[in-house]
Amino acid sequence: MSHSSCIVLLRNELRLSDHPALLHAAKNSAVIPLFILDDKIKLGGASLWWLHHSLKALGDDFAKHGIKLILRRGDTEKIIEEIQKATNAKAIYCTRNYTKHDARLENKLHAKYQNTEIEFRRFGGNLLIEPEKISNKQGTPFQVFTPFFKALQQSDNIRTPIVKPEKIIPFSGDIKTDNLENWELLPTKPNWAKGFAEWEIGEASAFKKLEKFLDSKINIYAEGRDFPSLAATSLLSPHLRFGEISPAQIWEMVKLKCLGHPTDNCQKFLSELAWREFCYHLLLHYPDMATKSIKQQFSAIEWDNNPNQISSWQKGQTGFPIIDAGMRELWQTGYMHNRVRMIVASFLVKDLLIDWQYGEQWFWDCLLDADFANNPASWQWVAGCGMDAAPYFRIFNPTTQSQKFDHDGKYIRHWLPELAKLPNKYIHEPSTAPKEILSDAGIIMGQTYPFPIINHKAAREKTLFAYGKIKGAE
């Protein structure tokens, strides 16, 4: 018997389970899973690295069902049309995505295929709840996180995850596919991604990581999550970013784990997942969030944007150990701990007075979890121009943050081996150490480790003045 076929467009849901578009397609049709690398969407270098491995893992998972994952590069709309015509597919399914570009594409496909015999259908799957299904008492979108989280928890509309299709029928004809290696997503000359090797990628690895987190780390999450050397967080962010696991799957497994004894730890973890959700809701309402301040009055700030300071920050050579450790962790592993992300971001924007967009772009290029919503929303949060953001006058002191959250300097010593021999007393501020201590630790300030590139107190005053000049900053 020959089946009609259905194209399943894959973008940021590189998994087989909890994939409504795939499950529905598999019910009645032969499935043509299609990933298109559309160069209109500019991904950062680290994301391309992850994408390569994630597509490889997904291709292998489909192959176990006898299905070929079709890879193509070019204009999404044109390629879908070409494959639909070549295969005579009767349906095109996708999962809803939330960037401006994706929303436009989905609307275009909807308009193109409505009133034809080809069915275009869009499913949920990438969020816990569709943005239209949650609003405040006035019926408008939430602008503050706490009531959003409360409403989310009380909502009946949180998705319940679904299983993977038991059987997927392959398309019987031949469809042209690219060779993943020819896309050259991995860096070679030089291979700056050597330090990424510890990540295990793909749907099975994402579940393994979640199980490990629930077994061993969630019990210390609420407090532990702020201390980078404890590694008490889930490290699920790149898996979520590429949809190797869905937020609904995580939400359900956390709820099951905490059944009967809802602890602060579980609640805190669910609230962080809800922050992701909140960021996506913001993205839908502020589609230019990566390039424009949500609170527009902040675009009047007179930034310094000093190129030497930007470069010192990027390279982890600012003379502030906690900043330098974070920036080197990012460069070497494609990841940075959340507490340290907040400290380095505050330092860039509020100590160096550099436009948050420079930071957003650097993170976009370097993070394996560089996310369409979380990244710009978090940068705007730190800079004070986002929704429910940190007030502009809250400026982290990098040294006291370091003393508080890396008190024994374990994290700093790991990423800055040149400071490893400094006693705890000076690890957060090497430039204050007496000469003999520096000498015993093998440090020559200005040569083996830089002097601080700014004076925090003076920088703070300057920033308060720059922010204070704009109307309505508070």
Ligand X SMILES: Cc1cc2nc3c(=O)[nH]c(=O)nc-3n(C[C@H](O)[C@H](O)[C@H](O)COP(=O)(O)OP(=O)(O)OC[C@H]3O[C@@H](n4cnc5c(N)ncnc54)[C@H](O)[C@@H]3O)c2cc1C
- Please give the residues from 219 up to 238 whose contact with ligand X meets the rule CB under 6 A: 225, 233-237
- Give the residue with the Cβ less far from ligand X, 276 or 428: 276
Q: Which of 24, 341, 350, 428 binds ligand X (CB under 6 A)?
A: 341
Q: CA dist 242 to 16, 75, 124, 198, Å? A: 13, 20, 15, 18
Question: Distances in Å between the alpha carbon of 388 and those of 58, 275, 371, 400?
Answer: 37, 11, 19, 24
Residue 342 lies near ligand X (rule: CB under 6 A): yes
- Tell which positions 238-277 bind ligand X, by CB under 6 A: 240-241, 272-273, 275-276
* Residue 374 touching ligand X (CB under 6 A): yes
Is 43 a binding residue for ligand X by CB under 6 A? The answer is: no
Q: How far apart are CA 135 and CA 446, in angstroms?
A: 54
Lookup result for tokens 């291709």: 59
The answer to whether 357 contacts ligand X (rule: CB under 6 A) is no
**Minimal distance in Å, beta carbon 441 to ligand X?**
31
Give the C-alpha separation, 252 to 82, whole Å. 39
Q: What tokens appear for 364 in the block?
A: 């976009």
Total binding residues toward ligand X, as defined by CB under 6 A? 27
**Gap between the Cα atoms of 7 and 27, Å rounded:** 13
- Sort 133 into a burial class: Cβ within 10 Å, 0-12 / 13-18 / 19+: middle
Q: Considering only 63-71, 306-314, 362-370, 459-467, which stretch makes contact with ligand X by CB under 6 A?
A: 362-370
Closer to ligand X by CB, 58 or 240: give it: 240
> Would you say 25 or 343 has its CB closer to ligand X?
343
The residue behind tokens 């630790």 is 441
- For ligand X, give the closer residue by CB, 143 or 338: 338
- Range in contact with ligand X (rule: CB under 6 A) among 125-133, 320-328, 361-369, 428-436: 361-369
- Told to check if 279 binds ligand X by CB under 6 A, we report yes
Task: Give how far Cα 381 sits from Cα of 131, 215, 374, Å.
Answer: 20, 32, 10
**Contact (Cβ atoms closer than 8 angstroms) between residue 20 and residue 166:** no
Angle in degrees, 0-180, between the axes of helices 374-383 and 338-346, rounded to the nearest 10 = 50
- Binder of ligand X out of 263, 306, 338, 361 (CB under 6 A): 338
Residues 376-435 that bind ligand X (CB under 6 A): 378-379, 382
CB of 365 to ligand X, least distance (A): 11
> Could you give phi then psi for residue 7, rounded to 5 degrees?
-85, 130
Closest CB 271 distance from ligand X, rounded Å:
9
* Residues making contact with ligand X (CB under 6 A): 225, 233-237, 240-241, 272-273, 275-276, 279, 338, 341-342, 345, 363, 367, 369-371, 374-375, 378-379, 382
